[in-house]
Structure 1
Amino acid sequence: MITRRTCLALPMLALARPARAEVPQITFDELYASYSALGLQFSEKVKLLTGQQVQIRGFMAPPLKAEAQFFVLTKIPMALCPFCSSDSDWPDTIVVVYLDRRQTFVQPNQTIEVTGRLERGSWTDPETGFVSQLRLREAVYRIA
């Protein structure tokens, strides 16, 4: 039965915003399935989410340079510049984050949440020569 109250509410429903699609979350523990003779193998979740927007929480490693538009996201806080330490100090659970715009970097012990388009596979940055296996493109981050 349509009442006066229902008739008055209908125009308001038309103005309601559509629900936003939820961005899938991924964790560092979900990045790789296993080690093999070929090295690290990407997890099924990473394969499924490649090319999509994802969110991941972690820590910003000290940037290579202050004006860079990218940084390395790590599972644990790192006080050392990853490019200045040995391979043994550098974890394999990292994701390179390429920002959609310049943002102010945060302290390495501050948890952040990054949202960006997931890319996988070996790629060498032509500017820095940095080789990555996982990347987030067109990314933004916020304090978690």
Structure 2
Amino acid sequence: MTVDAFTRRGVLALSLAACLPRLARADGAALGFDELYGKVGVLGLEFSRKVLDLDGKRVRIKGFMAPPLKAEANFFVLGKAPMAVCPFCSSDADWPDDIVVVYLQKKQTFEHSNGLIAVEGMLEHGSWTDPETGFVSLLRVRNATFEGA
């Protein structure tokens, strides 16, 4: 075996090893707040083609956590900018175009985070009323996890 062959194999092995953490973790498709809606139609906000294509798939979206309603919860609201109060809506007609409801994998106790976070989970769109809270949403990320971004 020549030195050149060994060097090429070594470089290939190191390159593959560097990729393994990314290959092992199937990140969701990146989705930004500016990609949620297409245009305002006759019926109001219309979902973007990207949201329709990603419905039911894993997504990763970065934003700011709204203050939770209580310390222990299984959901929070994610917005494109920091919020002082939770933007609860009485109906989907009042739904702001810059928030997404995040339903966590399990109920947890957490404190409001002022920093940018990254949420990953399954995207779901369409009007839905949470039977437990009465909260109405148009966009949700279910079975989600989050971390500092």
With the shorter chain as reference, the TM-score category is 0.7 to 0.9
TM-score (normalised: structure 1): 0.80
What does 1:1-144 align with in structure 2 at a 5 Å threshold?
20=23, 21-83=26-88, 91-101=96-106, 102=108, 104-107=110-113, 109-144=114-149
Distance across 1 between alignment mates of 2:115 and 2:21: 33
Distance across 2 between alignment mates of 1:18 and 1:76: 31
Query: Which runs of 5 or more structure 2 residues have no equivalent in the other structure?
Result: 90-94
Which has a greater percent of helix? 2
TM-score (normalised: structure 2): 0.77
In structure 2, give the amino acid aligned to 1:75.
Answer: K
In structure 1, give the amino acid aligned to 2:118.
Answer: E
In structure 1, give the amino acid aligned to 2:42.
Answer: A
Q: CA RMSD in A?
A: 2.9
Tell whether the 8 Å contact from 2:68 to 2:112 is kept in structure 1 after alignment.
no
Residue 92 of structure 2 corresponds to none
1:76–1:19 CA distance, 2 compared to 1 (3 A): closer
CA drift of 1:139 comes to 0.1
Which has a greater percent of strand? 2
